[in-house]
Copies of this chain bind each other. A is one copy, B any other.
Amino acid sequence: MPDEVTIVEVGPWEGLQCEHRYIPVEKKIELIKKISETGVKKIVATSFAHPKSLPQFVDSEQVMNALNSSSSVIYLAAVPNEIACRRALASRVKEVLIWVSTSETHNMRTLGVPVASTMKEIQLIAKICKENNVRIRSMIATAFGCAYEGETPIAAVRELVLKLNKLGCQEVCLTDTHGMANPKEVRERISHLKRELPHVTFSVHFHDAKGMGIANGFAAFEEGVRIFDSAVGGIGTAPDMPGGSRDIPTEALVFMFEKMGVSTGIDLDKLSACTDLAEKIIGRRLERSNSVGRATKDRDVVTNPLEELPV
């Protein structure tokens, strides 16, 4: 049986979150619907963060309401706190995304509260999600280092994984928020955490620092991870880190897996059309690495170098 992975498309959330200009709600919906046609199984569609924190997501209800609930795609929404979670549930969200940072500085800068407060919020979220039969996907930010606080001890990651798991989070996504992971470390951390906490499902979220995101993804895959975050066209970065490393482009991740004979269920051509649309919507060219170019006749002019040489 061929190996399979699940790609979680985070572009409509983490990508659009970085845009200072408001993207009209119909454009967001158009992009999400187009991504839904690629074969991707999960899309983080919006955030229910307070619009004062993230004005881009003032339209989260409208976005969720527009998405066909009968679709085979699961649409997640990011919920930074209990009230956001209640709003998400009111919009019939089936799976919420929560996160907490190993770094107090990063937690304060992105959630506005200390780690302990976030954990209390998550406790409340876990309770109402259980009552409403809504799945929680949890993420640990700065799991491979923090731009503010430096190295992240693996013990700090393990402790958070344990806490989240005890609160009912079956899946924990190890997030390289600031693009600091390297594939050797990825291998070591995941191998260690899986050995210590074999009952947890680990997923990964890498940023593409100097093109290392794909290598990190490969290392995680080899350690048995089968759920990967990425963003169409690589849009997005850590919102507190402008000019930081982009998200892994979904097309790069899909390209690698399909080349390795690992099924993603995603159509690369359709995905490429989504990148075109994302470019149009955000009004900026996205970096694209070519796969294989077209053979050309130009070089047929090559003369036989053995026959006529200058010396």
Contact = CB atoms under 8 A, between A and B. Distances in A.
Interface of A: 49-53, 80-81, 83-84, 86-87, 90, 109-113, 117, 121, 147-148, 178-180, 182-185, 208-215, 217-219, 237-246, 249, 251-252, 255-256, 259-261, 287, 289-296, 298-300, 302-306, 308-311
| Residues of A contacting B: mostly | loop
B242 A296 contact: yes
A183 B305 contact: no
A244 B290 contact: yes
Nearest to A303: B52
Contacts of A240: 295-296, 299
Nearest to A183: B218
Given A180-B292, A210-B289, 16 more contacts: A50-B305, A53-B303, A81-B309, A110-B299, A112-B305, A112-B306, A178-B293, A182-B259, A208-B289, A209-B292, A210-B249, A210-B255, A210-B291, A214-B215, A239-B299, A243-B293
A302 B215 contact: no
Contacts of A310: 50-51, 87
A212 B217 CA distance: 10
A156 to B, nearest CB: 19
B52 A308 contact: yes
Contacts of A290: 179, 209-210, 237, 243-246
A4 B294 CA distance: 37
B291 A215 contact: no
A273 B129 CA distance: 52
